[in-house]
Amino acid sequence: MKLSLLFPESRSIDAVRALAVRTEQQGFTGMWIGSAFGFDSFVATALAGEATSTLQLGIAVVPTWPRHPIVMAQSAASVNAVCKGRFRLGIGPSHTPVMRMYGIEFDRPISHLREYLTIMHALLHEGHVTYEGERYQLMGFLDIADAPAPPVLLGVLQEQAARLAGGHADGALCWLGPASYLHDVIAPNMVTGAAAAGRATPPLIAELPCALSTDREAVHAMAARDLGIYPQMPFYRAIFEKAGIAVAGKAWNEAMVEAAVLYGDEDSLAKKIRTFFDAGVDEVVLSPFGVGDDPAGSQADCIRVLSDLAKE
């Protein structure tokens, strides 16, 4: 089973390195970290790459608006060289409230991303680019040895981004998308985008929180505590609404948790994970959370169970 782990660690680079070593030993396909307001995720991933030898390492996802595409390509190629070709980069436009913190206007993200991906692809695969677009007018080159071009995956939440990923990215990452939504909305739009571009459909990767627990109340408490920001974001609210799930207020409800947080005992988790592969997903990335009176122990038990599944 092609399983990877996602950790929201953003404060300790040493912790990321230790997590990577352990994740490799536990037999997972890869490990992803986020990109937030802590350390530079490129630096942390490069150091994790030096401490591992087989684990795929990725960032999911780096906001595009604050980084020029030439700078993003340079960072990605550099980290991939350190990781000996095991790096995967996820990028996305982020969200209006987050970009407002940067003082950046969140304007027509799809056209922005189309130009951004075109520039990055030329730099990473051809080593040079001359581009005259609406957003970017530039000329640049990149000359980094010792690694192939790293895959650039697009964070997708809705139809247009899925079509763009199908036609212009090396894959798609979808956080919190229910299996039915991935099957009915994201996957078909990726196929459409790929067909329009005359290429094979790239991989679809599902990313979801999970917990090893049959205590529904404890799982709901975890979602409210650790995932409370997502129902407040319009893009994530739209996912649930398009999946036929009523969204009232700005908090998690039972239907949302049941659709997007994988929890239960070992057998239940295995069954729920398989529904995503059955929905057309190529890889499942799980972010393990601890619940109950011993969150650290609960999280460790969850990772142990996932490790057994990853080896099947």
pLDDT at 94 over 90: no
| Residue 94 or 115, more confident | 115
**pLDDT per position as a tens digit, 271-286:** 999 999 999 999 999 9
Q: What is the mean pLDDT of the chain?
A: 95
Which pLDDT value is given to residue 37?
A: 84
pLDDT at 310 over 90: yes
Nearest to 244 by CA among 185, 286, 204: 185
Which pLDDT value is given to residue 151?
A: 98
Which pLDDT value is given to residue 104?
A: 83
| pLDDT band, residue 244 (cuts 50/70/90) | very high
Using alpha carbons, list the distances in angstroms from residue 125 to 28, 59, 144, 179: 28, 20, 11, 33
**pLDDT per position as a tens digit, 154-209:** 999 999 999 999 999 999 999 999 999 999 999 999 999 999 999 999 999 999 99
Domain that holds residue 105: 3-310
Burial 51-76 (b: 16+ CB within 10 A, else e): ebeebbbbbbbbbbbebebbebbbbb
- 3-state secondary structure (DSSP) of residue 12: coil
| pLDDT band, residue 89 (cuts 50/70/90) | very high
Q: How many residues does the chain have?
A: 312
pLDDT at 67 over 80: yes
**pLDDT per position as a tens digit, 257-272:** 999 999 999 999 999 9
Which pLDDT value is given to residue 105?
A: 85
| DSSP calls for 118-136 | HHHHHHHHHSEEEEE-SS-
pLDDT at 132 over 90: yes
* pTM reported for the whole predicted model: 0.95
Which two structure tokens, joined as six digits, stand for 225? Answer: 């505590």
pLDDT at 137 over 90: yes
**8 A C-beta contact, residue 150 and residue 88:** yes
- CATH no. for residue 90? 3.20.20.30
- 3-state secondary structure (DSSP) of residue 252: coil
Domain count, the chain: 1
Which pLDDT value is given to residue 99?
A: 79
* Pairwise CA distance, residues 16 & 58, whole Å: 12
* Pairwise CA distance, residues 35 & 64, whole Å: 11
263 CB contacts (<8 Å, ≥6 apart)? 210, 211, 212, 213, 214, 216, 219, 257, 269, 291
**8 A C-beta contact, residue 20 and residue 29:** no
Neighbours of 250 (CB within 10 A): 12
| Residue 147 or 285, more confident | 285
| pLDDT band, residue 10 (cuts 50/70/90) | confident
User: What value, to the nearest 5°, has the Cα angle with vertex 267 and ends 4 and 216?
Assistant: 90
**pLDDT per position as a tens digit, 26-66:** 999 999 999 988 899 999 999 999 999 999 999 999 999 89
Which pLDDT value is given to residue 1?
A: 82
Which pLDDT value is given to residue 28?
A: 98
